[in-house]
Amino acid sequence: MEPGTSPGKKEKTPAAQSKEKMIRWLMACHVEDIPRDGGACVLLGDEQIAIFNFSRRAEWYATQNLCPHKQQMALSRGMIGSAGDACEPKLACPFHKKTFSLLTGECLSGDPYQIRTYPVKIKEGKVYVGV
Q: Are 116 and 105 in contact (CB under 8 A)?
A: yes
**Among 127, 95, 101, which residue's Cα sits nearest to residue 114?**
101
Is position 5 within any domain?
no
- In the predicted model, residues of the chain with pLDDT beneath 50 are 1-5, 8-10
Domain range for residue 119? 35-130
How many whole angstroms separate alpha carbon 7 and alpha carbon 25? 16
Is position 42 within any domain?
yes
pLDDT of residue 22: 85
Residue 88's CB is within 10 A of a number of other CB atoms, namely: 17
- Calculate the CA 39 to chain-centre distance: 9
DSSP alpha helix (H) spans, 5-66: 14-21
pLDDT of residue 15: 59
Secondary structure letter of residue 2 according to DSSP: -
pLDDT of residue 23: 92
Amino acid identity, position 92 = A
Is position 93 within any domain?
yes
Is position 118 within any domain?
yes
DSSP alpha helix (H) spans, 3-127: 14-21
pLDDT of residue 85: 83
How many whole angstroms separate alpha carbon 108 and alpha carbon 89? 11
Q: What is the CATH number of the domain that holds 57?
A: 2.102.10.10
Is position 16 within any domain?
no
Is position 96 within any domain?
yes
Is position 77 within any domain?
yes
**How many domains, the chain?**
1
